[in-house]
Amino acid sequence: MGSAVRQSQARAEPDPLQVTMKKGRVPLERALSKLGLASRTEARALVREGRVAVDGRPVTDPLFEVVPERARIEIDGHRAERPRPVTILLHKPRGVVTTRSDPEGRPTVYGCLEGLEAHVVPVGRLDAATSGLLLLTNDTRFADWITDPRNEVPRVYLVTVRGELSDDKAREGERQVAGSVTVRKRSKRETHLVIELTEGKNREIRRMLAALGHEVTKLKRVSFGGLELGELPPGEWREVTIEELRAAFERFGALPERLRAFPEW
């Protein structure tokens, strides 16, 4: 009985950070990240190096609480302000990882972003073996909105698997991933599919097809919401305009306020 009570209390114990954090306040490292000025890791280093001041006072604790909308944050003596929102569409090549740095030394998507000055982060991820459309942005509110499963923003993939995948298996795959699985063509050697999902779970397509007895040999994302990969070559990127973003995503529900409220972007 006592053990069960202790386990129940342990499960109910809230996150200490959430207990101490007052409403509207966030850790300084998170504020810098949410403003699109640095990654959480980079922000943490900036603060610890004494390069960040809040309301004129140097701060070296990355967990120092701030209200981003009210605090005057400076980096190296310069006012830290939210940069111009930038969203880009990258054709991620196969074999490239969706991270800033890789301990195994593999190439990363940031190696494809030559000439881009904005600090952007990936909107979701594509695994190393998957190619195709990857969005990166410095607008974290937009990124949170587009990846929220409640908005059901579709992602479309072209998939090739070993062996002949039957219609019955395609229907079973649809039930497993709560999406659509369409057979484009098939032979004894391989089957070509179009799969549409409304949530980007890690390796979901590969796991589903493996459970059906088929190995994925090629996986490419060709659209995200109303944005299409088109003829953009692998490794190349282009900026997506605010007009494109509105046209591509407004059909899936209420856009984030920032997309509606700033027509001059």
Q: Catalytic site residue 139?
A: no
Judge whether 152 and 146 are in contact, CB under 8 Å: no
Judge whether 84 and 137 are in contact, CB under 8 Å: no
Q: What is the DSSP letter of 242?
A: H
Judge whether 27 and 63 are in contact, CB under 8 Å: yes
Structure tokens at 84: 């111009």
Residue 162 burial by CB count (10 A; 0-12/13-18/19+): exposed, middle or buried?
A: middle
Cα distance between residue 264 and residue 22, in whole Å? 34
Q: Which segments of 138-230 are extended strands (E)?
A: 155-162, 180-186, 190-197, 216-224, 227-228
Q: Which of 102, 127, 167, 168 is catalytic?
A: 127
Element (H, E) at 132: strand 131-137
Active site residues: 127
